[in-house]
A and B are shown apart, each in its own frame.
Chain A
C-alpha cells in the first residue's frame, strides 16, 4: 500500500516559540526577507498564529496554532485550479508537491487555498554575503514570480530514499524521514508519519478523541490534524463551531 504522510500537532504542547518556522526556513532555503517585506509578503511555509478564547482577564486563554500546507487529499484546491499542472499529488506519498519550474505565477492556487498556506516569491531570492553558505544542497531555491509552500521537507524524503536504496532496501526507514519542524520542536508537539500505517503514532493520534482538523467541512480532507483537550481550541476548527462555542459560553 502506498504511504499517506500526515501530521498531528498538539496545540496543548505548542508554546509558540517559532522554532519550527525557523527550522523550516533553513531546511528549505527560504531567503531572508528583503527590505520592505511584511508578514503579508514574506515567505513562511510554517506560520504560527496566536488565538484566544475571547474572554477578558483573568479568564483569557491563548493557544498557538502552527499552520502549514494541510496536504488536502480530496478536491485538493490548489491542484485542480493550477492551469499548467504545476501542483501535483504524489500517489506514492500523498504529498502535494509544487513544481516551481512550471509555475506561471498566476497565484490562482493562493486564492483557492483555504488555509492561506501558499506563498509567492515577490522578490528575487537573495542571501546576504556569507549566508549563502547556509544553503541546503538538497533543496533548490525558487526564483522570483512563482508560488511555493510546505512539501513535508521533500528533500529529506529523497535523502531517505537514497539511503534505503544504498542499503538495498525498497522501503525507507520511517526514522530517516522526519521533517525539520518535527525535529526542531522542543516540546515534541508535532508528530509525523504514515497515516496508512495503523501502528504509527501519527495514525493513532489522528484518531484520538482530542483530534480535529481545521475547516474539515470544506471536504478537502486535510492530512494535518490538531490535538487539544480544550473545547474552545477545538471550536476554532470552523466558524459554525466557533459561533456555537461562543453562544454556549454566553449561556
Chain B
C-alpha cells in the first residue's frame, strides 16, 4: 500500500507515479515522498542529514523535474534517501526549503532520472495532479 498523495501506475519498463496535492507545495512534497518510496522503504530511513535547497526554473514542470533531479543526484552522491520536507516557498518558478533524510535499511530501486514524459500539472477536484515517469 502506498501512502496518500501518490500512487504507482503501470509502465512497461520504467516506473510512473500519479501524484496529487492541494497546492504546489503539497504536490512537490508528495512527488518527493513518492520518489523516496521508489528508492527505498521509507520506514527504514535513519534521519540524520538535512540539506537546504533553493531552485529556480522557467516553468512549473521544469521546476518539478529539477526538484526531483536534485534529490536523485544527492541520493547517488551521498546514498541518502530524503523522506521529510519543509518547503517555505513554492511558486511555479522557485522552490526554497529543506529536505531531511538518511541511509535506508532496505533499498528498492536505483532511480536514474525524473523525466518530462507526458508531464503536465493539471488542476483537478482534489487540487493539482500530475504523472511523473522515472527512468530506473
A and B associate: no
Interface residues of A (CB under 8 A from B): none
